């Protein structure tokens, strides 16, 4: 799958809006992810307001690039779940699906880690007025990339163990 091998983290974006149809495709990709017991713990905040993006950038020491993005998707998960212990794993699959669809749409994005760090989760929840029934998982700033990055090749045969 080309999107897997072409994906790189993109932290600089053009001053250009992401079309509503593309945002919807990203959200559809997220919700197509597998989840434990098909519990689909996810909901998504779509953020475009500049001040809110700046506040989200300040919610993590490594989130500076969010301030320069035209938008961000903030995946959150429900607290009332059949298998809450799998929530972060499910959310990870949904987040990666967004990153891959981003590549398909000619966009760029990066996964800004929020969960499981409570201080970052609390800050994001406060900024977005997330209700207690939902928990912030990550922030994904998205936009048209300023530059085309070279894909990485990290294949390392020494990490593979073929069992006879």
| C-alpha separations of 125 from 46, 75, 139 in Å | 14, 11, 11
Q: By CB under 6 A, is residue 5 in contact with ligand FMN?
A: no
The residue count for binding ligand FMN (CB under 6 A) is 11
Tell whether residue 6 is a contact of ligand FMN (CB under 6 A).
Answer: no
Binding to ligand FMN by CB under 6 A, coded x per residue (else -) over 129-158, reads -----------------------x------
Q: Which of 12, 68, 111, 146 forms a contact with ligand FMN (CB under 6 A)?
A: 111
Residues β-bridged to residue 73: 46, 140
Expressed in angstroms, the distance from the first to the final Cα of the chain is 28
Should residue 69 be labelled a site residue for ligand FMN when binding is judged by CB under 6 A? no
Instruction: Rule CB under 6 A: choose which of 2, 9, 14, 133 binds ligand FMN.
Output: 9
Residue 35 is a binding residue for ligand FMN (CB under 6 A): no
Q: Does 48 bind ligand FMN (CB under 6 A)?
A: no
Using the minimum distance from each CB to ligand FMN, give the nearer residue, 82 or 117. Answer: 117
Nearest-angstrom CA–CA distance, 10 and 25 = 19
Measured CA distances, 24 to 20, 75, 155 (Å)? 6, 14, 32
The verdict on 68 binding ligand FMN (CB under 6 A) reads no
**Quick check: bond before 116 cis, omega within 30?**
yes
CB of 24 or CB of 62, closer to ligand FMN? 62
């Amino acid at each position: 799958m080309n999107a897997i091998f072409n994906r790189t983290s993109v932290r600089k974006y053009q001053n250009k809006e992401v079309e509503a149809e593309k945002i919807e495709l990203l959200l559809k990709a997220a919700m197509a992810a597998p989840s434990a017991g098909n519990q689909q713990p996810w909901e998504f905040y779509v953020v475009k307001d500049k001040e809110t993006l700046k506040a989200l950038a300040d919610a993590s020491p490594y989130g500076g690039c969010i301030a320069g993005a035209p938008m961000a998707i903030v995946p959150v998960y429900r607290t009332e779940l059949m298998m809450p212990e799998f929530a972060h794993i499910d959310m990870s699959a949904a987040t990666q699906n967004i990153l891959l669809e981003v590549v398909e749409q000619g966009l760029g994005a990066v996964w800004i880690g929020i969960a499981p760090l409570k201080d970052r989760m609390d800050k994001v929840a406060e900024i977005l007025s997330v209700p207690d029934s939902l928990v912030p998982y990550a922030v994904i700033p998205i936009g048209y990339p300023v530059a085309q990055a070279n894909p990485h090749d990290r294949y390392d045969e020494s990490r593979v163990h073929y069992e006879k």
